[in-house]
Amino acid sequence: MTKNERFERLCSRYVSSIENNLRKRLNKAKDKEYVLEEIKKETDFINKTLVSNPNIKELVDIFLDLYKKGENIDYIFRRISDRFDNEIEGIKPGTPVYKDGELIGTYPLEDEKELKQLTGDEKKLTKFLVSCIAYDEVEKGLPNLLTKTQQPEPVAKMDYTIQWTGRRDNKNEFVQLIYALHQAGYLNKGQGEITKVVESLAEILQLELGKNWQSNLSASIHKSNWDYEPPIFKKIAKAYQDYAEKLIENKKFK
């Protein structure tokens, strides 16, 4: 992965992370408009704070100008280093610094020290510039954040087909399996309406349950002895045991 690709990925991940956290705040909020205004103020404050030092603002402006033009990250960092990371020729540390005739400190000034620490550490500079870009992108996207929050998350589409291939004349096996998984807490932690869980999974697995699937399940339970175990559970247990044994046998002969 090139440095440019790594930088782009870092920016993308950071933007996604910030936006996810903001969406969680909005989803939890009783007054979403109020919280959104609060978020806007916070984001604006962060963006202004990041470039509160005039020299760092100049650094960011130089970076953004070259970055938007598509220049290579290595080239941009060299330009920044040439501009900010070198000592000013002829001025020794400790030399008094005057502005408008008044002594304001000694060279290098505190903001110059901050700048040199930043530009002299590529990891720190990368992290800082990623933050600048990320919060700028987040601020631009805030007007649409509330709309995105109110929309349901898109359901991921599968790129392959999964079908229930059990006996089509015994759909009760499928229902027994799903009821058992739900009851054991493996589906939705055992919460929610079980009938909707069964019907949703049947649709995903392309199984037509029919209108009487609930009464068929109920009838099979009432007709069975108290210690009855549906054959599908025995089949699943045996199938897994067979798989494990084959795996162990194959490993022995390698």
Q: What is the pLDDT along the chain (254 residues), one digit of tens a residue?
A: 677 888 888 888 888 888 888 888 888 888 888 988 999 999 999 888 888 777 778 888 988 899 888 888 889 888 888 777 654 444 455 455 456 666 555 544 455 666 676 677 788 888 888 888 888 888 888 887 766 655 555 555 556 678 888 887 789 999 999 999 999 999 988 888 899 899 989 988 888 888 889 998 998 888 888 788 889 999 999 999 999 988 888 877 66
Residue ranges in the chain assigned as alpha helix (H): 3-28, 32-50, 54-68, 73-84, 110-119, 122-150, 172-183, 194-204, 213-223, 231-252
Q: If you ran DSSP here, which 8-state letter would residue 109 be given?
A: P
- The pLDDT value given to residue 201: 92
Residue 108: cis peptide before it, omega within 30 degrees of 0? yes
Q: What is the chain's alpha carbon radius of gyration, rounded to the nearest angstrom? A: 31
| Structural element, H or E, at residue 195 | helix 194-204
Residue 80: count of CB within 10 angstroms of its CB: 21
Distance CA 119, CA 81 (A): 6
- The pLDDT value given to residue 24: 87
Give the sign of the dihedral formed by CA 235, CA 241, CA 243, CA 249. negative
Distance CA 170, CA 246 (A): 29
What pTM, to 2 d.p., does this model score? 0.47
180-217 CB burial, b ≥16 within 10 A, e <16: eebeeeebeeeeeebeebbeebbeeeebebeeebeebb
- The pLDDT value given to residue 174: 93
* Domain positions in the chain: 3-150, 172-252
| Structural element, H or E, at residue 145 | helix 122-150
- The pLDDT value given to residue 109: 45
